[in-house]
A = this chain, B = another copy of it.
Amino acid sequence: MAKVKISDVAREAGVSLGTVSNALNHPEKLRPETLKLINETINRLGYLPNQSARQLAGGATKSFGLVLPRLDHGFSLQIASGAHNEARKHGYDLLIANADNDDILEDHYLRYFMGTQMSGVMVQPMAFPDWHPAMTKMPVPIVHLDIHCSEPGYYVAADNEAQGRIIAELAIARGAHHIVVVGRAAFMQLTLRVLGIHKALALHPDIKIEVIDAGEWNTAADGYGIGNQIAERPADERPDFVVGLTDVLASGVVSALVDKGISVPGQVRVAGCDGNPLAWSGSVPLTTVAPPGYEIGRKGIQLLMEQIENKAPTKTKHIHVSSAARTVTAVTAIEDINRQELVRPFLLERASTQASSQTDATAINLGAYL
């Protein structure tokens, strides 16, 4: 129980405290034999450097914090994975906190990380983040994932316009003549998807496109309703390709269609648009466009590194300003950068749009999400 500390090691090894510290932080400065002696002593005593003390004294930490909204979604895990690999590559540790769908917890961990003198923090914010203006000008580099935003800050997100474009291109490739886009473009993201679809289709004036902007919440039930409506049309007015702005919507459409005896993908192909894993679970595995979590995580760390490196000059080295003059508002010196990185999503084609039936749909899923 008695904690072994650096001075114990020094005493036991018969060297000075500073030497042990050097053995830990600048081993190259020691004579190999001294180093060896010290390391042996460290192991013998089971000494563990007190990280808190190191950080307090040293400043830097060489570790990043990542706050995730949940751990049960492949996308977040991909982010964690990409972030971790990139961080290790730069010699940094990555600590992950699970906000568990709770925005208070999210905030809590965010502050915790910033207070731990992490070198940087990343967060995949919960839906509709309510930015503390303070957050923006925090003393620690921070990157927001999976979200676009015009506020100053660093953001990495999937390219929603590309998401739409990709799905439209698939429709074209599958020989669609009449496409119906389903869903209420209530948020920026969805609007961008619609935009992408239109852009891709602009090159194909022969293809008929129709947007059904019904329902308010983009629920599966909304999708089901729209699917029903489509099913009841005379065959020649029926689309041959339906795009759901979200996968939930699309899967509702599939259910309705199948219930009405319309074959998917035989008579109508259906695709979602956001890589939601639930897309596996329906009766017909749903084609979708998944955001590349791994890349987003990687990119996020890269932006963190960038901030760290640019900021390097800011050496606050023992500048003993008179206490009175220390007006904290000097903080505004931070440039109000807005940096947004978009990462291209990728197509996950499954049974709901396939030309011929294939059996390996599940394998594809696993590759993408596990």
Contact = CB atoms under 8 A, between A and B. Distances in A.
B51 A53 contact: no
A153 interface: no
What is the count of identical protomers in the complex? Answer: 2
Interface in A40-59: 43, 45-46, 48-56
A281 B363 contact: yes
A172 interface: no
A53 B58 CA distance: 12
B46 A134 contact: yes
B48 A111 contact: yes
B48 A115 contact: yes
A114 interface: yes
Interface residues of A, number: 69
Interface string A55-71: 11000000000000001
A212 interface: no
A261 B100 CA distance: 47
A287 B94 CA distance: 36
B1 A334 contact: yes
A210 to B, nearest CB: 31
A260 interface: no
The residue in A3, A98, A115 that gathers the most chain B C-beta atoms within 10 A of its C-beta is A98
A81 B77 contact: no
A72 B363 CA distance: 15
A95 interface: yes
Those 5 A-B pairs whose CB atoms lie nearest each other, nearest first: A52-B55, A51-B115, A96-B96, A51-B116, A46-B134
5 contacts: A43-B134, A48-B115, A48-B139, A71-B71, A95-B96
